[in-house]
Amino acid sequence: MLKVAVLVSGGGTNLQALIDAVQHGTIKNADISLVISNKKNAYALERAANNHIPAKCISKADYESLEEYDQAMIDAIRESGAELIVLAGFLVVLSKRFVKEFEGRIINIHPSLIPAFCGEGFYGLHVHEAVLKRGVKITGATVHFVDDGTDTGPIIAQKAVEVYEKDTEEILQRRVMEQAEWIILPQAVDDIANGRISLIDGKVVREETE
């Protein structure tokens, strides 16, 4: 059973999609062993509590240095026994040290088709705002392994979503979540937990199993 730690900052709808998928058996051989939020009032923490999942708030502001914050995060994840870390709307940029510590075992969901609309400053509604401003007709979501860049790691899965003329940022964000994020993130966790996806020499390798 693969233990998974989910890192969140906000509403936690992606966390909910993971919880539901584990409960319904869409994700097999994995269990969410810990939820960490950098914000005390994140609704995601309530979702964890409602589902009896251990959860804690670890905020940079509570530590004197970045090193201490990193250590607290690393310790919490190690203690939980998690072997896969899922960034599900986690708005803190992870340090090189953290990424190194869990190399090849961190994945992120990004609400665009990488390499479009990603990198520094492209998070949350800003991504959808930029999509609408540019006038692209197709956007989507990407699940990728995390390396020490911003949204630069090897891509695991992508799903396209149509952009409509009358979309607002909020409407588009919701459609991207419903039609892409909540589908490809649980799928990626299931694929990793069941050995269908692995990272070999920095490349995502997919093995088709029955």
Which residues form the interface with ligand GRF (CB under 6 A)?
Answer: 8, 10-14, 44, 88-89, 109-111, 123-124, 177, 181
Q: How far is the CB of 11 from ligand GRF (least distance, A)?
A: 4
Residue from 24, 110, 126, 128 carrying the catalytic annotation:
110
| H helix or E strand, kind and range, residue 182 | helix 182-193
Dihedral of alpha carbons 55, 6, 104, 2, sign? positive
Q: How far is the CB of 159 from ligand GRF (least distance, A)?
A: 12
Cα angle: 131, vertex 137, 138; to 5 degrees: 80
Nearer to ligand GRF, 12 or 186 (CB): 12
Q: Between 30 and 176, whose beta carbon lies closer to ligand GRF?
A: 176
Minimum gap (Å) between residue 200 Cβ and ligand GRF: 26
Residue 210 amino acid letter: E
Cβ atoms 176, 166 nearer than 8 A: no
Residue 110 annotated in active site: yes
Of 65, 63, 62, 51, the residue nearest 21 (C-alpha): 51
Q: Which is nearer to ligand GRF, 1 or 138 (CB)?
A: 138
Least Å from the CB of residue 102 to ligand GRF: 18
| Residue entry with tokens 């197709």 | 138
Nearer of residues 54 and 124 to ligand GRF, judged by Cβ:
124
d(Cα 105, Cα 102) in Å, to the nearest integer? 5
C-beta nearest to ligand GRF: residue = 89
Instruction: Enter the tokens of residue 78.
Output: 């190690």
What is the biggest distance separating any 2 CA atoms in the chain, rounded to whole angstroms?
Answer: 50
Give me the active site residues, please.
Answer: 110
